[in-house]
């Protein structure tokens, strides 16, 4: 999709991009022919586009997702996905609450492998591991996950980033992650009804009562978040390309379902559900 994109170029918006596609200009190479001084055509384009197109080709060859992320509007950043899919991390954190939170667990999924990090165990490995990826996909990560990660680890997570909250909202799906999942037909099974507030209580149960089943349930929940992020990203991409005029982009197949290494413990969930008081959390 990215090589078919022109709206990252200066002074080219969606209207002009659609015009290019309508004129069978589908790639950067196609457009470069129109800025070639030897191209004899009444619609030859300004030569100042040549440098931008050549830069795009070079930065793409360099695998520089950030270059394109900085030039695409929030409404179009989804276009990065297929070109950087195999160097993408779906990321989600769990915390001790909303106010001055500490990170309790983090899950990463890259479409093949699942990694998880637990406070007090291996959380310090996350900052090095996350830098292996060029593109991050989150839900509400711009205002929650990424700022908290940067504050907690005292690091700058300067990566290209697709926040699905905004992509899905542009498609008419709003609310939290679990709400969007339900609207798009994704089921949580035994974890239905478990949310961010419940995740806080699971961590509390693990810390206070040494309940390893509470930690395993929390990790199951956290990992399910990132696995579902890939499903939502694929769904959103397919819906977006169907909206494009004058160009055909193939839809993506449903992603494979990985085996999650933990299962929710229903006895722990039921105990917390019936005994917890939600005051002070959400």
Enumerate the domain spans of the chain.
2-62, 82-275
Least Cα distance to 104 among 121, 90, 128 occurs for: 121
- Three-state DSSP at 154 gives coil
Round to whole Å and give the CA distance between 164 and 126.
Answer: 22
State residue 99's pLDDT score.
79
| 8 Å CB contact between 21 and 247 | yes
Positive or negative, the CA dihedral 150, 103, 220, 187 is negative
As a three-state string, the secondary structure of 179-243 is: HHHHHCCCCCHHHCCCCHHHHHHHHHHHHHHCCHHHHHHHHHHHHHHHHHHHHHHHHHHHHHHHC
* Full pLDDT tens readout for the chain, 282 residues: 999 999 999 989 999 999 999 999 999 999 988 776 555 554 556 667 888 999 999 999 999 999 999 999 988 999 999 999 999 999 999 999 877 789 999 999 999 999 999 999 999 999 999 999 999 999 999 999 999 999 999 999 999 999 999 999 999 999 999 999 999 999 999 999 899 999 999 999 999 999 999 999 999 999 999 999 999 999 999 999 999 999 999 999 999 999 999 999 999 999 999 886 555 443
CATH topology of domain 82-275: Nucleotidyltransferase; domain 5 (3.30.420)
Phi and psi at 234, nearest 5°, equal: -65, -45
What length does the chain have? 282
- Here the tokens at position 162 are 């697709």
């Amino acid at each position: 999709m990215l090589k078919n994109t022109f709206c990252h170029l200066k002074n080219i918006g969606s209207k002009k991009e659609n015009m290019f596609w309508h004129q069978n200009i589908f790639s950067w190479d196609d457009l470069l022919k129109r800025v070639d001084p030897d191209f004899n055509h009444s619609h030859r384009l300004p030569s100042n586009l040549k440098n931008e197109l050549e830069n795009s080709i070079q930065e793409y060859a360099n695998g520089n997702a950030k270059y394109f992320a900085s030039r695409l509007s929030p409404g179009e950043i989804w276009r990065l996905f297929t070109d950087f899919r195999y160097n993408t991390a779906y990321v989600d954190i769990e915390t001790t609450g909303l106010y001055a939170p500490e990170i309790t667990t983090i899950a990463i999924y890259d479409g093949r492998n699942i990694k998880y990090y637990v406070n007090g165990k291996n959380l310090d490995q996350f900052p090095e591991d996350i830098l292996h990826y060029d593109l991050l996909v989150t839900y509400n990560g711009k205002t929650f996950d990424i700022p908290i990660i940067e504050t907690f680890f005292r690091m700058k997570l300067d990566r290209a980033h697709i926040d699905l909250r905004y992509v899905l909202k542009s498609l008419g799906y709003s609310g939290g992650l679990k709400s969007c999942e339900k609207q798009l037909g994704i089921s949580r099974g035994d974890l239905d009804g478990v949310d961010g507030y419940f995740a806080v209580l699971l961590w509390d149960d693990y810390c206070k009562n040494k309940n390893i089943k509470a930690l395993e349930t929390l990790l199951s929940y956290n990992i399910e978040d990132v696995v579902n992020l890939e499903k939502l990203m694929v769904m959103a991409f397919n819906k977006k390309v169907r909206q494009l005029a004058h160009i055909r982009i193939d839809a993506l197949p449903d992603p494979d379902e990985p085996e999650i290494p933990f299962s929710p413990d229903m006895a722990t969930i039921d105990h917390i559900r019936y005994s917890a008081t939600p005051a002070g959390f959400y």
